[in-house]
């Protein structure tokens, strides 16, 4: 009896660094830009390669666990996660860090399905299992929500590599205790893993995202060819899934209206959550001069609202249904973005916190409602496949949140930056991509010009941030109208 709680402790412990690493870098961008001289595109890859890689890798890992046993899957994933954390901590270039984050995603993709399988095996009693799953959700949501604060605390006192080194003691503890405490499971050597499909999906996503990022900076035939290749690979992947007896993604589930809409809402809410966190961390440090720790503390009301929402959202969903909660949540998020766009965080801190609390609470409530729609609408025999779709939507939203918000800010920032007359064409090309690149370029110019250029860069970034938030609000309003019209009947939840 006591052993199952030891197993739960191991599972929660290993899941924490996986969830923290999804957001811990948000407050580290200025530090990384300074230390590694990142371009805007490199910065975005460092941030979102973790989630984008997991989109394709996490799906076949459940099957791999059935084939080799979930204990072995978890310990292997922990080992990969630990070694790649070391590699990331001591990276000396942007490409090294991007590669390390990609390998981190491989380890994380093994750990997540292994932890869920471990809970299922360790807690046969439904009530105890629900309690254990609740703690698992708290570890995941809390880790992701408080990642920026943890990053800020570490960056305040230690080298930036410490945000990865904190994973090492956890990994060592899990591997030592897990080896002796985690039970062995029955294995199915005939289980199809679909690694080829996972690689195809991952390549399709990465090529499309690469083309999107490159095209925003310089569009040419090569970029177009890469983007079309990604689209064709994605189309071929979908065609293959329809034909296979054991597909990586069960596309038949998308015939259920709540699953289709829930998948869409889940992606958009995660884009909003991650994208906002990314932008506010940059604004606080670049424009308002906050340290990483101060930035993490300033965002704390947003993090707390996300965490608290998980407690109350289930009550709201049970009372009003997933459709109504989704609609209310989308509208509240749109209103919060409008409020945040008009807030000066230097002089209107309390107003900013109020809008952040509104956004944090309802973006998480909307995400949980969409998750409930996906899981509840799926047939019992396809619950695992529905869970894979939900996990995929989470990672897609996280990855695209960084990419979309980062690219939009870069576009609006470049269009608003009026410093070309203050420097040569060569220096302006280096400086115009992002506020981080502008600050890097200051070291190449006359120091007397720095204050004026910095002031114009701050103004351009604030304007870009405002445009992106307004655009996000309009997008969510359009999505709300679509959901209201297309998902108009509560009976759709049970279709």
Region of 289 (left: φ > 0; alpha: ψ -120 to 50; beta: rest) is left
The pLDDT assigned to 331 comes to 96
Q: Are 357 and 301 in contact (CB under 8 A)?
A: yes
Nearest to 277 by CA among 53, 48, 40, 16: 48
The pLDDT assigned to 383 comes to 62
Q: pLDDT of 161-216, one tens digit each?
A: 999 999 999 999 999 998 888 887 777 676 677 788 888 988 998 998 888 888 77
The pLDDT assigned to 130 comes to 67
The pLDDT assigned to 380 comes to 65
Q: CA 469, 474, 477: angle at the middle one, nearest 5?
A: 125
Q: pLDDT of 231-258, one tens digit each?
A: 999 999 999 888 887 787 888 888 888 8
Q: Domain residues of the chain, as ranges?
A: 1-192, 195-245, 253-495
Q: At what angle do helices 322-341 and 450-486 cross, to 10 degrees?
A: 160
> 3-state SS of the chain: helix, strand, coil percent to 5?
85, 0, 15
Q: pLDDT of 360-404, one tens digit each?
A: 899 888 888 887 888 777 776 676 667 677 778 878 888 888 888
The pLDDT assigned to 213 comes to 81
> CA-CA distance, 288 to 65, in Å (whole number)?
47
Q: Which CATH class is domain 253-495?
A: mainly alpha
> CA-CA distance, 259 to 375, in Å (whole number)?
8
Q: Is the dihedral of CA 230, 246, 395, 166 positive or negative?
A: negative
Residues of the chain with pLDDT under 50: 491-495
Helix (H, G, I), strand (E, B) or coil at 32: helix
The pLDDT assigned to 493 comes to 42
Mean of the per-residue pLDDT values of the chain: 85
Buried b (16+ CB within 10 A) or exposed e, 350-375: eebbbbbbbbbbbbbbbbbbbbbbbb
Q: Which CATH class is domain 1-192?
A: mainly alpha
Tell me the whole-structure pTM to 2 decimals.
0.82
Domains 1-192 and 253-495 share a fold: yes
The rounded percent of the chain whose pLDDT value lies above 70 is: 94
The pLDDT assigned to 495 comes to 42
> CA-CA distance, 399 to 275, in Å (whole number)?
9
> CA-CA distance, 331 to 341, in Å (whole number)?
16
């Amino acid at each position: 009896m006591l052993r199952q709680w030891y197993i739960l402790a191991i599972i929660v412990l290993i899941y924490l660094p996986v969830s923290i690493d999804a957001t811990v870098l948000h407050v580290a961008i200025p530090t990384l830009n300074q230390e590694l001289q990142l371009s805007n595109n490199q910065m975005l890859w460092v941030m979102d390669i973790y989630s984008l890689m997991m989109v394709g890798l996490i799906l076949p890992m459940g099957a791999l666990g059935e084939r080799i046993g979930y204990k072995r899957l978890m310990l292997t994933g922990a080992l990969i996660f630990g070694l790649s954390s070391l590699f990331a901590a001591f990276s000396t270039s942007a490409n090294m860090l991007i590669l390390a984050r990609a390998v981190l995603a491989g380890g994380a993709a093994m750990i997540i399905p292994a932890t869920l399988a471990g809970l299922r095996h360790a807690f046969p009693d439904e009530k105890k299992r629900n309690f254990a799953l609740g703690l698992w959700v708290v570890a995941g949501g809390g880790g992701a929500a408080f990642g920026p604060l943890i990053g800020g605390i570490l960056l305040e006192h230690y080298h930036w590599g410490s945000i990865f080194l904190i994973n090492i003691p956890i990994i060592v503890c899990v591997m030592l205790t897990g080896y002796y405490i985690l039970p062995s499971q029955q294995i199915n050597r005939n289980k199809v893993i679909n690694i080829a499909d996972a690689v195809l999906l991952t390549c399709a996503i990465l090529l499309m995202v690469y083309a999107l990022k490159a095209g925003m900076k310089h569009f040419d035939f090569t970029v177009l060819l890469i983007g079309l290749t990604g689209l064709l690979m994605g189309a071929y992947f979908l065609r293959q899934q329809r034909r296979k007896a054991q597909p990586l993604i069960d596309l038949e589930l998308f015939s259920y209206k709540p699953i289709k809409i829930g998948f869409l809402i889940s992606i958009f809410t995660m884009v909003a959550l991650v994208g906002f966190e990314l932008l506010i961390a940059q604004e606080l440090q670049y424009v308002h001069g906050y340290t990483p720790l101060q930035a993490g503390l300033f965002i704390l009301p947003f993090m707390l609202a996300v965490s608290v929402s998980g407690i109350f959202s289930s009550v709201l969903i049970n009372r009003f249904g997933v459709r109504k909660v989704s609609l209310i949540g989308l509208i509240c998020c749109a209103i919060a973005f409008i409020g945040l766009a008009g807030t000066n965080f230097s002089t209107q801190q309390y107003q900013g916190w109020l809008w952040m609390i509104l956004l944090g609470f309802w973006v998480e409530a909307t995400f949980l409602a969409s998750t409930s729609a996906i899981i509840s609408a799926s047939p019992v025999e396809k619950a695992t496949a529905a869970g894979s779709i939900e996990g995929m939507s989470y990672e897609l939203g996280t990855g695209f949140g960084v990419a979309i918000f980062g690219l939009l800010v870069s576009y609006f920032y470049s269009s608003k930056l009026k410093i070309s007359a203050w420097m040569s064409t060569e220096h302006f090309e280096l400086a115009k991509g992002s506020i981080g690149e502008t600050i890097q370029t200051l070291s190449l110019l006359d120091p007397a010009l720095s204050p004026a250029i910095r002031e114009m860069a701050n103004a351009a970034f604030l304007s870009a941030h405002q445009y992106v938030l307004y655009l996000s609000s309009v997008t969510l309003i359009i999505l709300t109208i679509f959901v209201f019209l297309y998902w108009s009947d509560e009976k759709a939840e049970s279709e």
